[in-house]
Amino acid sequence: MAEYIRKLKALPFISAVLVAINVGIYVFCQLPGNVLVERGCLSAVEIIVNEEYGRIFWSMFLHADSSHLFSNMIILLFMGAMIEKEIGHFSFAAIYLASGIGGNMLSLVGKIASNDWAASLGASGAIFGLDGLLLALVLISNRRMENVTLGRVILMICLSLYNGFTGGNVDNLAHIGGLLVGFLLGVILAVYIRISDKVKLDAGYGGQGEY
């Protein structure tokens, strides 16, 4: 029974739930009226004038089209499942959401500074946060993940940023903000993991815990 519970806890259900929520919201947005997009996208005007601060959070669950949704959800499903198994459900959910909010905050500041009043939306800031988190884990944590190396992580981040800067209609500040927040929180978590693992090793315990 204990082994079954352990395996159940190892399942990446937070990643799966996040994907399901994003897909469900996208399907709902296809209904006539497009109400969720209008009320949830990251609009500097609506946030500043109407004080609709919830857009900073809700916009990370909205997507412009099916290809936008698909590309983000594929990364979330596969990379998210790997990271969630490594750091635990709570830490994964917290860093993912914090990265999305941080990315949107930097995007909002950039919009205001450049008088850019175009609205934006998408989970890309939170997705880039996972990139930053993975980079921190590889650099600092003493854990080793299968097929994950520092060179591969850096290459993935560089290619993602390059595609954003060379593509059109991309909120690059949200990407950078999410990446930075994910990395900074990842550094804190990686240091904690490293210390915790050392304490367990000194005490004669093995295995990996939930964080």
Catalytic residues: 124, 175
Give the Cα separation of 31 and 141 in Å (integer).
Answer: 45
Coil/strand/helix, residue 180? helix
* Rounded Cα–Cα distance for residues 24 and 38 (Å): 17
Q: Which residues does residue 42 pair with via DSSP β-bridges, in sequence order?
A: 120
CA 157 to chain CA centroid, nearest Å: 13
Place of tokens 């459900």: 89
Sequence letter at residue 94: A
CB–CB of 182/127 below 8 Å?
Answer: no
The residue type of 142 is N
Give the residue ranges of DSSP H helices in the chain: 2-10, 13-29, 35-40, 44-49, 55-58, 66-87, 89-113, 124-140, 150-166, 172-203
> How crowded is residue 173: how many other Cβ atoms within 10 Å of its Cβ?
23
Q: Which two tokens stand for residue 131?
A: 């990139």
